[in-house]
Structure formats: structure tokens, C-alpha cells
Structure 1
Amino acid sequence: MSRDGSEVYSWGQGVLGQLGHGDEKTQRQPRLVVAFLGFNVRQVSCGNQHTAILMENGEVFTFGRGNFGQLGQGASVTANVSTPALVSALQGKHVKQIACGWHHTCALIDNGQLYTWGSGEYGRLGHGDEVRQASPKLVEALQGKEVTFVAAGGFHSSVIIEGGNLLTWGGGYFGQLGHGDETDRKAPKMVKGVQQCIAHEVACGTHHTLMLTQSQEVWTWGSGEFGKLGIGDEEKHAEPIMITALQGVGVIHISTGGFHSAALTSEGVLYTWGGGDKGQLGHGDENSQNIPVVVEALRGKRVTRVSAGMHHTMALLDNADVYSWGSGEYGRLGHDDEQMQTTPFLIEQLIGKGVREISSGGFHSLALASGSGETAQGTGIGAPYRPTGKNQRIGFATSKDEDEDDDTRLKTANTGMTEDSGIADTESRAASRMSARPGAKGAMPMGKGVSGDDDDDQEDYKLKQALRESQVEVAELRKQIEILTDRSKLEQTRIETRLQASQEERNHLRKQLERLQEKQQADAALKAKLSTAQEEIAELRKKYERSRGDLKQRTVDVHMLQVRVAQLCGSELDGLTVSQLEELERMQAEALRRCGVAKYVRLRQEFQEKEEHMREDVEKMRREFEERMDKMKVEVQKIQEEKVHLMGLEQRLRQEFQTQVQAEQMSNEELRIRLETLQDGFVQLRSILRKEKQSRVESERHPMDDM
């Protein structure tokens, strides 16, 4: 199917350039990304604060936040990009699917190979390490496996390979990898808990995962916070578990957000569950749900696609209408405001655009449309937008235009005052006189008979000029206020981003502390084992001492028996026969046997062997214990240093934020005072002008009174 005339619309937070309009302005309603006019777009994908666009010819363009290398523009470009930029490293590879995570991006090639780039923390890129990649890099661990689908989450990634098996990797602290533990994986690993299923689609949230099977079953695992797993509790599950509430409803599509989830059936019925504190579930309230619940407001409408963002949700209907709900901060819902919506609300500006795909990001949204016949100047990627028709006008906004956007309000003030000033008639006459005032360029010659009005004309001109200059100054002040406000929002967003990064570091630190506690528990178990071994050695020593005492006693008994035998034999010992001597030796051996000498010797030998073996074990355990204690001390010291560093960093960030806010408040107050002063000056100038006018009128009426 031909897709000529594809149109990409973006709205929401734009402070990092993630909207692709060539600036960093926030848009509260859908705005056409003119850079893609004339191109065939196949897919759009929103990350937390960056965006990727896939073209029909397999090329990929990215824009937005780039400090983690998630734009794939190479090591030389890690800053924010506000205009779509081609990922040149993927040229010639023909990408067929893209997926954006929080700080990383994935691209699936038509030959089944997978490329990833961006933040490598927790191993989310799948390259066997945690190294940041600023350019696309092949996931070599998937060589020999044909990837058919890819999904990227907050800190982990997942793919479906030929045959329907599912593999995951990245951060596993919340069990979101589904391997039965909370271990990070730096390379793809098959999820054995769903190996019996044929995976059809997978969706990765911030800390949880959903999988849709070919038989329309939905499996889930990871963090159960706010009930986002949909299994009736808020517990963490590190192994896949089926969502029984969705059995038999015919699910064909799934989506995961920051703290909620969504599923769509073949009948166009939409289910949502999880966190609802921002209204993102669309149930008309701010309650969370731990099992899937139908979005009643859309019942009777046929939903074809759903996209869950951080705190908002969008749904695409079969008639190409788009509904959105949840947090309206930064205008991400596209309703030209920042109000929270707890039920689905139609995005009016997308009506009739032919939207065929939607994507919800962290703080912004995108829609891909087939085109509505609207035109705008632009020849492709990076082409500047030039307004046509009425949009080309430049003028100072009057009261009629006060509700227009910031760009209209900040037009250069180069027009005269309006009728609202109350002096329109004076302005008209003054303007006509200005062209004929003395000294003016191209001025008409004046007769001597009209020189009496020259002074009045001069004064009118000066007053009018002062009014215009004041008007320009007010416009400039308003523009400065707008700029300072935008800068304040930008700085606040940057600080929030840094605080968010600090929170991620804290989570990582907490994870290290928990691992350290696990090591301490293991060391405690080793210590207990060492103590038990020492007790066993002490018990063996006691047995050894008792055996030695028994041996001494039995040795005495043997000696006494020998003496008795000697007494019995006496001097006749030498005259004994051979048989008598053998009998005597037999009696002596029997006496030794009865005394237990052989048993003692055997027991002593066994004790010595066991004691030597246990000594070796104890020495080995002691060395291991000392080594682990040394490592633990080093780790504790390192963690304490990181904790102090993080606390200091957070304190500095808060101080910087407070200082910035105070400075902006002072600056805004100064501008407000100047604005009030100028407004007072306006009033005085209008009063003077009216008095002068009244004086001239009275002079004309009573010319003789002045004589």
C-alpha cells in the first residue's frame, strides 16, 4: 500500500527537542513535524525523552535527548537534537522495526539481526557489558537466531525469535526478566517459564513485562507495584504467571506504561489496570486496579491500537479518531491544556487526519497519519517551516489575540494603537500630519498660514512617538518574561532529570546494599559452620583423651597379665614345649585383644585422619572468611563514599534549584514593577493627550477668549 503523504504529529514536552520541530518549545496540541513532509513514514516510537522515526525505505531518524547516546549519532553527538537526524550507521541495512526505551534504542533489521545503542547500564543493550554505545552495535549473542519482534523498557529489553521463544536481558532487580531471580543479565537469555508458549508480542514497562501468546493468553512478571501485573496482588513475581482475568476474551494487542498496563481484544474492547493516580486507566477516577478492567467510556467504540506512556494513555479507533487520558502535564494529552483527564477525551485537532499509528512516551506523544490534504512548505528532513497567508503577518497582539499561542503574542510591536486605547481618532489625524511635518522625509511644503498648528502637530507627534516607544518596550518586557518563564521551566526540567538520575543511582546503591546484606548473611552462615566444626573438634579431643585413659588402663592390665603368666611359668618357662609356647602366645594375644589395643590403634588412626581433614577445612574456611570480610569492608567503604557523594549532589541540586527559583522570582518581580510603571505612564500619556485635545477644541470654540 502506498504511503505517500505521511504526516507525523507531535506534542507534549519539547524542552529537549523530542518533538522534532527544530526548537525546544512545549506543544499542548498536535503540531505537524514538517521535516517529514514528502516522505513515507512506516513507524514512530517514543522513548522517555527521545524519539525515533522509521521510514518505508528502512532508514531511521532520531531526535530529542542524547546524553546517553540513545540517538545513535556517534560519539561526537551526545547533546540534545531538536531536528530529525539520520542514523547513518544503519544506512543500507533496511530496518523493519524500532523500539525506544528510557535511555536506549533498538532496531530490528529485515534479516533478523538486532542493533542496540544508548545507555548500557544494567546490561540493557545485550552486548555482555554495561558500556554506553553512541552508535548502533550488533547484538552478537543473537547471531544464528532470527529475531522477529523487539521491545524496549525502562531498564531492560526483550525479543521474540523465530519459533516463538522469548529472550530478555538488562536490569532484573524487580524480576522483570522472568528468570526466577533478581539478577541483571548483560546478554539475552531465554525465558524458560514460557518456553512452552509461542510468543506473539511482548511489551516492556519500567519494571515489568507482558507477553501475548499466539493462543491469545497474556503472561506477566516483574514488579507488582500498584497491581500493574493484573493478577490480583501487588507482589513481585520473578517468574511468568498467566493473567487469568484475560483468558477467553481474545486479546490481540498489549501495551505497558510506567506504572500501568493495557490489553486490546479482537472485538475492540480495551482493558487497563495498574496505577491510576493520574487518571491513566481511564475509569473516571484516580484509583489503582490490580486486575484488568474494561474502559467503559470507550465501550461501543472499536479500538484498534493502544499506547501506554509514563502517566498517560492513548487509544486509536477504527475511524482514525484518537482519544487520550491521564496526566496532562506539558500538554502531552493534546487537548490544548495541561488538565488531568480520568476518562478518554477526543483529540479534536487530529480529526480527519487519517491517523494509523500512535506512540506515548515519558512526557510527549506522537501520531502517524496518512495525510489530510493540508499543505505546508518544506522539502524534507531539516526543511524550515515558513508560514503562509495570514500567518505571515507581524504585529503587536491586541486584546482579540490574547488567547493565541506564545509565538503570536511575541510578534514584533510595529503597529499603532488600536481603538481600545480610546484615542483612535487622534492617532489617525496625528499619523496623517506626521507625513507632512517639517523636516520629515518627503514632506509636503507648508504655507505660512498654517504655521500656527505646527507646534500642536509637533507635540502630537512626540506624544505619539512616546506611546509607540513605550508600546515596543512593553512588548519587549513581555517577551523577556516569556523567555525567562521558558528558561525557568527548562532549568526545572533539567534539575528534575538530574534528580531522576540521582534516584536511579540511589536504586542502584540500594541494590548493592541488599547484595552486601546477602553476603553478610552468607558469611554468618559460614561463621556458624566454622563454630560447629570447632565444636566437633573439641568433642573428638574429648573422645581422644578418654581413649588414651582407657589405653593406659588396659596397658596396665596386660602388664599384670604378663607378670602373672611369668609367675605361673616361673623357672619352668625354658622347659616348655612348642605347643605350650604357642598356647602361651595365644593367651597373650587374646589378652591384648580383650584389652582393646587393636581397637584403640584403629580409633586413634581414624581420629588423626579426621582431625587433619577438619583442620584443613577449618583453615580453608578461615581464609575464605577473612578474604570475604576484607572485600566486604572495601565494598562498605565504597558504598558509604557513594552515599555521601549522592547526598552532597542532591543537596547541591536542591540549593541550585532554590537559588534559580529565587533569582527568577526577583527578576519577574522587577519586570512586573517596570511593566506597572509603563502602564502608569500609558495612563498619564493618554490623559495628557486627551487634555491637549480638549484644550485645542475649546480654543477653536472660543478663539476670542484667548485674546
Structure 2
Amino acid sequence: MADRFRSASIEDLPSHLIFEILIRGRLSAVDLVCLELSSKLFGGSHGLYPHKFRSLVDFAAFQLCASHSIYAGMSWKVQKELFDRCNENWKRVLRFLQSVEHSSDMVETSAGNQMQITTGRYHTLLISNSSVYSCGSSLCGVLGHGPETTQCGALTRINFPYAANVVQVSATQNHAAFILQSGEVFTCGDNSSYCCGHRDTSRPIFRPRRVEALKGVPCKQVAAGLNFTVFLTRQGHVYTCGSNTHGQLGHGDTVDRPTPRSIASIEEVGSVVQIAAGPSYVLAVTGNGEVYSFGSGSNFCLGHGEQHNEFQPRVVQTFKRKGIHVVRVSAGDEHAVALDSSGFVYTWGKGYCGALGHGDEIDKTIPELLSSLKSQLAIQVCARKRKTFVLVDNGSVYGFGWMGFGSLGLTYDKVMKPRILDSLRGHHVSQISTGLYHTVVVTQQGRIFGFGDNERAQLGLDKLRGCLQPTEIFIQQMEDEADLVSQSA
């Protein structure tokens, strides 16, 4: 009887079952590499796959790539270009796809935690294990801590009306928006322009409130503009509300919308997979890699070669004409950045202080390839006021543009071409976000570092006015719990 329950190692399992485990589990590219190095079982041939694959793990990596949403939307030609860029290594292709997904969504840390960081003008919001924490200036209730809070000196948990698992957050100058695992949307802050999606504009919303107009419309991403908000549904539809002075709501007019309304014209071109909001304009990426823009055309941010406002989504022809498959975009105050499916970076807009990274301060009216980073495989792009960051697949960060009170992480007043942030070399960065004068990163280990101005405690470092070097930031509740443990020991 005892033999029936004897312990067995994974080597005892049939090869086809092991393969199913590899492709059905939540394994990362790093996990697959570790498995391949740890046992001949994973590195050997078992007659389960074509000879062009190097190992069982290699074939599993290919299968995981094929089922990934980003890869599935690419044409065969684009898939081949990415494969070649990754030295024909399926594990590296998978790492690229997963890194792009995590850097713009939730970071899967080595400790098993899920995190996302976002920076507003004078504040920071962090998701950690489905809870949201905020710090900095609570102008108009943007921190979500109630009317009695004017400033929060450390990352402190936001209380929702009921237990809420938050999966995405976006913040701008005066308001913030949150997406729950259920697809529900909550907002807080100044609603005088209807940007929070509620009809009541009599006073700020000091604590997160559910957007009732989106009840029954589950969302997966939100992007907060200056006085408006953009919502992306799980079906790939785009809703907008708030101020519409420049046509940034995308409905073909300049009429403000008090509650979220779907943009009908963009539904005709396919499912949208990512959105980004600048001060008064919007960028939207579709599943087939096209980029649409609408709103204020100032500073050439729409990428159409002119500064006319666009009242409805218009495709950026540069990418479409050249067959460039864009996977992510970032909308800065005066310029924009895009990342394509081969890890190349494109910039356009106002070139002041070298924010476009081309070695000069010349404005670019349409997207232009950042040639100095062609040797790097970029996984995230991040633009804000006159500065840009590019995160590459080895965890290094490049910055260029205006120093802005140390928020660039470099000691130069202007950085005209991408320069690696030496101060972060010891850390594998997984996500970066930058505000007006401060920047925050999350590492693969789940550590948080910030640099730049801290005049309003936007770095969550209550005793510092600012820091030129990355300084670790801790979550208030976790610190309190650690103190209780030490006192009881």
C-alpha cells in the first residue's frame, strides 16, 4: 500500500505532461532559463517538438510567445523581426513580451508581489498587493485620504468604500482614477471639469468614488489628462469625459462630457490595447500596432506633421506607412514617445532641452527613430515635462532632456542624447514613472526608489527636501507593521 503513495520527482512524469505544466503555469522567461540550467530533463530532446527548437524549454517559450496578446497581434514579418532582434532566442522574445506588459501594467516582483507606480504633478501613487498608497500634495483630494489631509509625508494606504483589489491607477495634476479587478472604476480629486466622471461638480471628491456611468462596462486601463479622463474597456473600446476644449474627448466636437461616453469612430478601426493621455491630447494603440491621436495639436504631439487640433481619432501615418508595429506609447507635456514590437524607440514633438534624444533641440513634427538606442532592446518609454526615460530589457534606465530639480537622475542641466543612469546600475528596474519634478522606479525585487524634488513630500520621504541620488522609499503601513513585530519580539 505504501508504494502507491511513494514520493516522485518531476523527472518521473511523462514528458508531454511536463510540457503542459511549462506552458500552462505562470512561468516567466527567467523561470524557464533556471529550469533549463537546473536539469537535463528541460534542456534535452524528448521528441515532442520540431528539431529547430533547442530544448523542451525553448519549445515551451515559443508556445508562450505564440499565446501572448502582444505577439498574437503582430504580422508574421513583424514576429520574424522581433525573433531576429532577440538573437533567435525564444526565451529572450518571451522576456521582452512579458517585460513590456509588466512595465506598463503590474510588475511581478521576485518576492511574488504585484506593484505599479504612477506619479502625478506633486504626488505619487503606488499599488502593492491590490492596495493603493499615496503621498505628496493632496490638492483637491487627489490623494484620496479625505478633506482633512492636505499633504501626506509617506506612502499611506487609501481606504475604499469596500474591499477593493486595485489593478491599475493613473494620476495627473488634480485628479486620480483607479481600476479594480472587477473592472469597476473609481475616481477622486477636482471634478469641476467633470474629469472624474460624476455630475456633481460642487466640491472636490476627497475619497475614491465609483463612476456609476460605467456600471456594467468593465475597464482594464485608465489615463488621466489635465482636465479629462480616458477609459479603456476590456472589449477594447474607449470612453472619455471631462473638458473638451481641444477635442481631446474624440467625439468630433468641443462639447464637454459630464460622464464617460464611448468614442464610436475608433471602434470601427479595431480593438484598442493601450491609451495614454497628455495635458490635452490622447494617444491610442490598436491591437494591430497602429497609433491614433486626437486633441490638441500644439507642439506636434499628435505626430501628423502639423499643429492642427484633431476632434476625432486620426491614424499616425508614419507608423502605418512604414509597417511599424507599435506596442506602447507615452504622452508627455510637450512631446510623445513610442515603443515598437522590436524594442525600438521613436520620439516626436517639442525638442526643448533635448527631450527627444536626437542630440539637438529641434522639434520633430512626425515620429523619428531614436538611432542612438538601436542596439538596445527597450521595454518601456516614459515622457513628461521636457524629459524622457527609456527602460531596456536588462533593467538599465536611460534618460535625456531637462534635469528638472534632479528628476532626470543625472547631474547635467541638459542631456541631449540618451545617457544611462549610473546611480541605478546596481538595481534591475522593472518600471519607471516621472512627474513634473520627481521620478520613482520599482525594481525587480519590489524595492522603490525616488529622486528629484520632494518639496511637497511627493517622494514619500518626509524629512528630505529633495535628492539627486535614488533614495529608497518605504510604505508607511509596512513600516508600522515591522515596528510592531520588533516591539513584540
State the TM-score, normalizing by the size of structure 2: 0.70
* 1:347 maps to 2:473: yes
| Distance verdict in 2 for CA 1:5–1:146, change over 3 Å | closer
Measure the CA separation in 2 of the matches of 1:373 and 1:66. Answer: 37
| Distance verdict in 2 for CA 1:66–1:338, change over 3 Å | farther
- Which residue of the other structure, out of 131, 149, 155, is the alignment partner of 1:30? 155
Identity among equivalent positions (%) equals 29
Provide the residue aligned with 1:69 in structure 2: 194
Q: Give 1:333-372 correspondences, 5 Å limit.
A: 333-337=459-463, 339-349=465-475
Letter in 1 for 2:280: F
Letter in 2 for 1:169: F
8 Å CA contact 2:406, 2:468 repeated in 1: yes
* 1:216 maps to 2:337: no
* 1:16 maps to 2:143: no
8 Å CA contact 2:155, 2:474 repeated in 1: no
Displacement, 1:248? 1.7
Displacement, 1:338? 5.2
Measure the CA separation in 2 of the matches of 1:374 and 1:7. Answer: 20
| Distance verdict in 2 for CA 1:266–1:78, change over 3 Å | farther
| Distance verdict in 2 for CA 1:257–1:373, change over 3 Å | same
Displacement, 1:258? 1.8
8 Å CA contact 1:149, 1:160 repeated in 2: yes
Q: Please state whether the residue corresponding to 2:318 is helix, strand or coil.
A: helix
Measure the CA separation in 2 of the matches of 1:168 and 1:181. Answer: 13
Displacement, 1:352? 6.1
8 Å CA contact 2:240, 2:263 repeated in 1: yes
1:217-245 per-residue CA deviation (whole Å, 9 max, x = no partner) reads 10110111111111111111111111111
Provide the residue aligned with 2:205 in structure 1: 81
- Considering Cα pairs closer than 8 Å and 6+ residues apart, tell me whether 1 or 2 has the greater RCO: 2
Measure the CA separation in 2 of the matches of 1:303 and 1:352. Answer: 21
- Which residue of the other structure, out of 136, 160, 166, is the alignment partner of 2:285? 160
Provide the residue aligned with 1:90 in structure 2: 214
Letter in 1 for 2:256: R
State the TM-score, normalizing by the size of structure 1: 0.49
Measure the CA separation in 2 of the matches of 1:142 and 1:64. Answer: 28
1:447-483 per-residue CA deviation (whole Å, 9 max, x = no partner) reads xxxxxxxxxxxxxxxxxxxxxxxxxxxxxxxxxxxxx
Displacement, 1:348? 3.2
Q: Please state whether the residue corresponding to 1:122 is helix, strand or coil.
A: coil
Q: Give 1:441-520 correspondences, 5 Å limit.
A: none
Letter in 1 for 2:359: G
Provide the residue aligned with 1:328 in structure 2: 454
Letter in 2 for 1:281: L
Displacement, 1:38? 3.0
| Distance verdict in 2 for CA 1:237–1:18, change over 3 Å | same
Provide the residue aligned with 2:245 in structure 1: 121
- Which residue of the other structure, out of 425, 431, 436, is the alignment partner of 1:299? 425
* 1:130 maps to 2:236: no
1:481-508 per-residue CA deviation (whole Å, 9 max, x = no partner) reads xxxxxxxxxxxxxxxxxxxxxxxxxxxx
Letter in 1 for 2:180: M
Q: Which runs of 5+ in 2 are unaligned?
A: 1-25, 27-112, 115-127, 485-489
Q: Which runs of 5+ in 1 are unaligned?
A: 354-370, 376-707
Provide the residue aligned with 1:314 in structure 2: 440
Which structure's CA Rg is the greater one? Answer: 1
Provide the residue aligned with 2:317 in structure 1: 192
Measure the CA separation in 1 of the matches of 2:474 and 2:291. Answer: 39
Letter in 2 for 1:329: E
8 Å CA contact 1:304, 1:315 repeated in 2: yes
Letter in 2 for 1:27: C
| Distance verdict in 2 for CA 1:36–1:252, change over 3 Å | farther
8 Å CA contact 2:154, 2:476 repeated in 1: no
Provide the residue aligned with 1:204 in structure 2: 331
Displacement, 1:52? 0.5
8 Å CA contact 1:322, 1:350 repeated in 2: no
- Which residue of the other structure, out of 169, 176, 195, is the alignment partner of 1:51? 176
8 Å CA contact 2:352, 2:361 repeated in 1: yes
| Distance verdict in 2 for CA 1:173–1:372, change over 3 Å | same
Displacement, 1:37? 6.9
Letter in 2 for 1:58: G
Q: Please state whether the residue corresponding to 2:456 is helix, strand or coil.
A: helix
8 Å CA contact 1:228, 1:259 repeated in 2: yes
Measure the CA separation in 2 of the matches of 1:19 and 1:34. Answer: 11
8 Å CA contact 1:69, 1:78 repeated in 2: no
* 1:106 maps to 2:233: no
| Distance verdict in 2 for CA 1:286–1:78, change over 3 Å | farther
Measure the CA separation in 2 of the matches of 1:115 and 1:235. Answer: 34
8 Å CA contact 1:330, 1:338 repeated in 2: no
Displacement, 1:77? 3.0
Q: Please state which structure has a larger fraction of its residues in helix.
A: 1
Q: Please state whether the residue corresponding to 2:300 is helix, strand or coil.
A: coil
Provide the residue aligned with 1:288 in structure 2: 414
Q: Please state whether the residue corresponding to 2:140 is helix, strand or coil.
A: coil
Displacement, 1:156? 0.8
Measure the CA separation in 2 of the matches of 1:142 and 1:19. Answer: 32
Measure the CA separation in 1 of the matches of 2:328 and 2:289. Answer: 9
8 Å CA contact 1:7, 1:36 repeated in 2: no
Q: Please state which structure has a larger fraction of its residues in strand.
A: 2
Measure the CA separation in 2 of the matches of 1:325 and 1:351. Answer: 22
Displacement, 1:286? 5.3
Q: Give 1:504-653 correspondences, 5 Å limit.
A: none
Tell me the matched-pair count: 357
Q: Please state whether the residue corresponding to 2:216 is helix, strand or coil.
A: coil
1:259-293 per-residue CA deviation (whole Å, 9 max, x = no partner) reads 2111111100011111113111112x251212111
Letter in 2 for 1:9: Y
Letter in 2 for 1:18: V
Displacement, 1:349? 3.6
Measure the CA separation in 1 of the matches of 2:482 and 2:181. Answer: 20
Q: Please state whether the residue corresponding to 1:245 is helix, strand or coil.
A: helix
- Which residue of the other structure, out of 33, 39, 42, is the alignment partner of 2:167? 42
| Distance verdict in 2 for CA 1:152–1:231, change over 3 Å | same
1:643-663 per-residue CA deviation (whole Å, 9 max, x = no partner) reads xxxxxxxxxxxxxxxxxxxxx
Measure the CA separation in 2 of the matches of 1:167 and 1:5. Answer: 33
Q: Please state whether the residue corresponding to 1:240 is helix, strand or coil.
A: strand
Displacement, 1:341? 1.6
| Distance verdict in 2 for CA 1:239–1:81, change over 3 Å | same
8 Å CA contact 1:328, 1:337 repeated in 2: no
| Distance verdict in 2 for CA 1:5–1:151, change over 3 Å | closer
Measure the CA separation in 1 of the matches of 2:483 and 2:446. Answer: 17
8 Å CA contact 2:156, 2:476 repeated in 1: no
1:88-143 per-residue CA deviation (whole Å, 9 max, x = no partner) reads 11111110111111221111111111001111121111111122212101111212
8 Å CA contact 1:229, 1:274 repeated in 2: yes
- Which residue of the other structure, out of 260, 265, 275, is the alignment partner of 2:387? 260
RMSD value over aligned CA atoms? 2.3
Measure the CA separation in 2 of the matches of 1:153 and 1:174. Answer: 12
Measure the CA separation in 1 of the matches of 2:477 and 2:448. Answer: 8
